[in-house]
């Protein structure tokens, strides 16, 4: 929509279209509405792009921001619509109790689940134990 069309729309909404301050007030409200609509449109477009498998890097490039900025603005935290405290606790990492989310991936097993952070920590612990075992065998 052209700026002149937007100004005409603001004047049409103004209580007294001949009063520039009334037009300004109406224009301010109209710009807030347009901003909300534009944000909602952008949210939907990013959601569709992610559903189609588009990376955060590609989305950030297209929007002219970093992938981190795009992800921070548009990624929604994991919340199941019927989640209760118990179901959220049951979905959390069995070791550190962090809840799953877009930035925290889980490996699910029969009796529990473990987050990527705990997997990395477990790997370090096993490597340290293995190194210690080798040192003990040498002495």
Q: Which of 103, 108, 77 shows the shortest CA–CA distance to 92?
A: 108
DSSP-derived secondary structure for 77-91: PP--TT--HHHHHHH
Binding residues for Zn(2+): 93, 96, 115, 118
Binding residues: 93, 96, 115, 118
Q: Helices (DSSP H) in the chain: which residue ranges?
A: 3-13, 20-51, 56-63, 67-74, 85-91, 116-138
The Cα–Cα gap between 101 and 75 comes to 10
Q: Which residues pair with 108 in a beta bridge?
A: 113
Quote the DSSP letter at residue 95: T
């Amino acid at each position: 929509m052209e700026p002149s069309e937007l100004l005409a729309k603001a004047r049409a909404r103004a209580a007294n279209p001949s009063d520039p301050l009334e037009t300004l007030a109406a224009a301010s409200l109209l710009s807030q509405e347009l901003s909300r609509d534009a944000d909602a449109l952008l949210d939907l477009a990013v959601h569709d792009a992610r559903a189609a498998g588009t990376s955060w890097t590609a989305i950030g490039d297209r929007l002219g921001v970093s992938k981190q900025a795009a992800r921070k603005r548009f990624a929604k935290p994991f919340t199941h619509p019927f989640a209760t405290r118990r179901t959220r606790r049951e979905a959390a990492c069995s070791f550190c109790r962090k809840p799953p989310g877009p930035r925290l991936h889980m490996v699910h097993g029969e009796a529990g689940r473990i987050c990527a952070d705990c997997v990395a920590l477990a790997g370090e612990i096993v490597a340290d134990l293995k190194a210690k075992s080798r040192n003990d065998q040498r002495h």
